[in-house]
């Protein structure tokens, strides 16, 4: 089993997310994460789909995606040839002493404190999944109240394989 990151350029139309997710569901493929957002051209959206499967299943997924009428382009984002990031927001219960310690850990990871309340902090961190996991692990000694993760998103490096649609 290996993690594969698909970058899909899709029509920005109602129901496209449901159709893509439904294709995975109908065939019993699991989605580890899914992000979607409009591109510079509002007619299209970029979807990043992360799946964990063996090579045969990954090939089946790609073949099924190619059959979807909304899908204009499919890329596999390979490590080293692409940049992938995730955003996490973590709400932590802290007292005055813990606040200083948590801020110090956040500084090491270049995380941002985005909300401060009397007894809690919300921290925002962007990075690769290993960085996110390491940060969460270091905070495990504190009371984590909530975590929100965006899922992986990414683009291939350089401009050699950029697709321009008419």
- Domain positions in the chain: 2-76, 83-153
pLDDT band at 120 (very low <50, low <70, confident <90, very high): very high
CB proximity list for 96: less than 8 A, separation 6 or greater: none
From the options 3.30.420.40, 3.30.70.1150, 3.90.1150.10, 3.10.300.10, give the CATH code of 83-153.
Answer: 3.30.70.1150
- Please state, for a pLDDT cut of 70, what percent of the chain lies above it: 99
C-alpha span between 132 and 85 (Å, rounded): 9
- Rounded (10°) CA dihedral 64, 68, 73, 76: -30
Architecture of domain 2-76: 2-Layer Sandwich (3.30)
User: pLDDT by residue (tens digit) across 66-119?
Assistant: 999 999 999 999 988 999 999 999 999 999 999 999 999 999 999 999 999 999
Predicted pLDDT at 162: 76
Does the structure show a pLDDT above 90 at 166?
no
| HEC assignment per residue over 72-108 | EEEEECCCCCEEEEEEEEEEEECCHHHHHHHHHHHHH
Predicted pLDDT at 103: 96
Does the structure show a pLDDT above 90 at 163?
no
């Amino acid at each position: 089993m290996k993690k594969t990151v698909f970058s899909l350029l899709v029509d920005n139309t109602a129901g496209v997310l449901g159709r893509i997710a439904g294709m995975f569901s109908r065939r019993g493929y699991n989605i580890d994460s899914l992000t979607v957002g409009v591109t510079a051209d509002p007619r299209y959206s970029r979807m990043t789909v992360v799946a964990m499967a063996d090579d045969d299943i990954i090939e089946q997924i790609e073949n099924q995606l190619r059959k979807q009428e909304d899908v204009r382009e499919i890329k596999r984002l390979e490590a080293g040839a692409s940049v992938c990031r995730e955003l996490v927001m973590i709400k932590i219960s802290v007292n005055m002493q813990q606040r200083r310690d948590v801020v110090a850990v956040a500084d090491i990871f270049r995380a941002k404190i985005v909300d401060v309340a009397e007894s809690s902090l919300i921290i925002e961190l962007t990075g690769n999944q290993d960085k996110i996991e390491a940060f969460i692990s270091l905070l495990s000694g504190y009371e984590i109240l909530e975590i929100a993760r965006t899922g992986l998103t990414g683009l291939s490096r350089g401009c050699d394989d950029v697709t321009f649609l008419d």
